[in-house]
Chain A
Amino acid sequence: MLRFLTAVIRRDLKLAARRRGDWLTSQFFFVMVVSMFPLGIGPDPAMLAKVGAGVVWVAALLASLLSLSRLFADDHRDGSLEQMLLSPNPPVLLALGKALAHWLIYGIPLLLIAPILGVQFALPADAIAVLMLSLLIGSPVLSLLGSVGAALTLGLRGGGVLLTLLILPLYVPALIFGAGAVDAAVAGLGAEANLSLLAAFMVMTLLVSPWVAAAALRVSIE
C-alpha cells in the first residue's frame, strides 16, 4: 500500500522534473498576479502591509487552481490513469498520492516564494514567518480539495474555468484562516487561533477528500 503511494508520488515528481516549463509557468503566474496589485492600488507601504497577506493568499489559490486543471488530465489522455485505476491498488491511495505530489511540486514553491512577495508588500519579519507557516499548513488544503475538482472536471470542455467555479467557494475557510493568521500577527494578536483552525481544516480535508476524489475519478472514467 505504502509502496504504491510512494510510487505514485515519485512518478509525478519525475514527470514534473522533466517538464520544468510547466512548473515555472505556475510559479511565475503566482509572482505576476501578486505584483499587479501594488500597480493597481498604489505603492503606499502602510496599505500594502494591510492587504499583503490577502493578496498573496488569493494569488496562491489561483496559482494552484491553474496547475490543478492538469492534475489528472495528462494521465487520462495517454490512458495511464485508466490502467492505474484498473490495478488492484486502492484508488483512494492514487488520489491521495496525486494530491500529495501536487502539493510537493506546486505548494512548497509557493511558500518559498512568499517571503520575497511579503517584503514587496512591506510586511514585518514576524508576519512573513507567519505567512510562510500559514501557507505550509494551508497549501495541502488547496491540493487536496482541488484534486476533487480536477477529478470531477476530467476531460470536460472548459475544464480549467469550470474547476475554478467549483472549487474557489470551497477554499474560503483556508483563505480566511490563512490570511487571517497573518493579519492577526500584524495586529499583535497572535496567530495561533487562526493557524489551529487552519490545521483542523487541513486534517479534515486530508481525511475526506481522497475518498471523494477517488469516487469522482471512477465516475469520470467509466
Chain B
Amino acid sequence: MNLAIFKYAAPMTFYRLAGRMIPWFAWGAGILTAIGLYIAFFVAPTDFQQGEAYRVIFIHVPAAWMSMFIYLVMAFWSAVGLAWNTRLSFMMARALAPTGMVFAFLSLWTGALWGKPMWGAWWVWDARLTSSLILLFLYVGIMSLWSAIDDPRRGDRAGALLTLVGAINVPIIYFSVQWWNTLHQGATISMTKAPSMAATMLIGMLVMAFAAWFYAIATSLVRVRGIILERERHTEWAAEILEGK
C-alpha cells in the first residue's frame, strides 16, 4: 500500500502533525465544554423525577462512554503495533491510557455523587458500577506494568499483550457481572425505565460527549509528543527541538 497517510507513522512527521493538531482540539474541547455546560445548567429543564441532581449526567455519561471507548482504541493500537511492529502505535496506546483512566475514575466519582441523592447510597453493587470499577482496575494494571518495565521495547509489547487479553475479557466480565447482579439483588433501581429525555438534555449530553472526545484527543497528542521526544532524543531532529526550547 502506498498511501500518503502512512508517512505519518514515522515519529518525526507525526510529531509535527500532532503539534499542528493540538491547538484545534484543545480549543475545540474548551469551546464545546463551555457550550455544553451552558446547556446543562441554563437550558436543559429540571427533571420531573430526579430534580436538579440529574445534571451530573452531563459529565457522567460522556466520561463513562470515553472510559470504555478509549480502552477499545488502546486495544486497536496495541493490535496494530503487535501486527506491524510500528513504534508509534505503542506510543499512542501509552498516551491514551492515563486519559482513559481519568475518565473511568471520573465516571465512578460522578456516579457516586448521583447515586447518593437518587439511590440513597454512594455505592451499590450494580452491574454497571461494578464493571466500571473492574475497567478502572484493568487500566491500573496496564499502567503499573508499563511503569515496572524500564526497557521501552519490552514495556510496549508486554502492555499491548495485556491490553488485548483485557479486551477479550471485557465482554465476558461484563456479562458475568450482570449475571451475578441479577442473581444477588434484583431490587436496585434501574435507569433503563426512566422516561425518555427532553431534547435539550440529549443535545447537552452530546455536546459534552464531543467535548470529552476533543479533550481526550488533545491530551493524548500532547502526551504522545512527549513520549516521541523521549524515545527519539538521540536523533538529530529531536535533539534540535530539545535544545531549541
Contact = CB atoms under 8 A, between A and B. Distances in A.
A166 B177 CA distance: 18
Given A162-B145, A220-B154, A180 B137 contact: no
Contacts of A169: 134, 137-138, 141, 166, 169, 173
Interface stretch (A4-12, A33-41, A100-108, A151-159): A151-159
A201 B161 CA distance: 19
A157 B145 CA distance: 11
Given A162-B148, A166-B141, A172 B176 contact: yes
Interface residues of A, number: 33
Interface string A183-218: 110000000000001000100100011001001100
B161 A219 contact: yes
B43 interface: no
Contact of B169 (A157, A162, A170): A170
A149 to B, nearest CB: 8
Given A169-B137, A173-B176, A184-B183, A219 B148 contact: no
Contacts of B166: 169-170
Interface in B169-205: 169, 172-173, 175-177, 179-180, 183
Contacts, number: 80
B158 A157 contact: no
Given A162-B145, A166-B141, A172-B134, A208 B176 contact: no
Nearest to B139: A169
B161 A166 contact: no
B242 interface: no
Contacts of A173: 169, 172-173, 175-176
B148 A148 contact: no
Determine chain B's interface SS by DSSP, over half rule: helix
B161 A180 contact: no
**Interface secondary structure of A, over-half rule:** helix
A133 B158 CA distance: 34
A222 B141 CA distance: 22
Contact of B158 (A145, A177, A201, A220): A220
A216 B176 contact: no
Nearest to A172: B173
A158 B140 CA distance: 15
B168 interface: yes
Contacts of B56: none
B162 interface: yes
A219 B183 CA distance: 41
A157 to B, nearest CB: 7
27 contacts: A148-B165, A152-B158, A152-B161, A157-B148, A162-B144, A165-B144, A166-B145, A166-B162, A168-B137, A169-B137, A169-B141, A170-B165, A170-B166, A170-B173, A172-B173, A173-B172, A173-B176, A176-B177, A180-B179, A197-B176, A204-B172, A208-B165, A209-B165, A212-B161, A212-B164, A219-B154, A222-B154
Interface of B: 134, 137-138, 140-142, 144-145, 148-149, 154, 157-158, 161-162, 164-166, 168-169, 172-173, 175-177, 179-180, 183
**Complex A-B, nearest 4 residue pairs according to Cβ-Cβ distance, in ascending order:** A173-B176, A169-B137, A219-B157, A166-B141
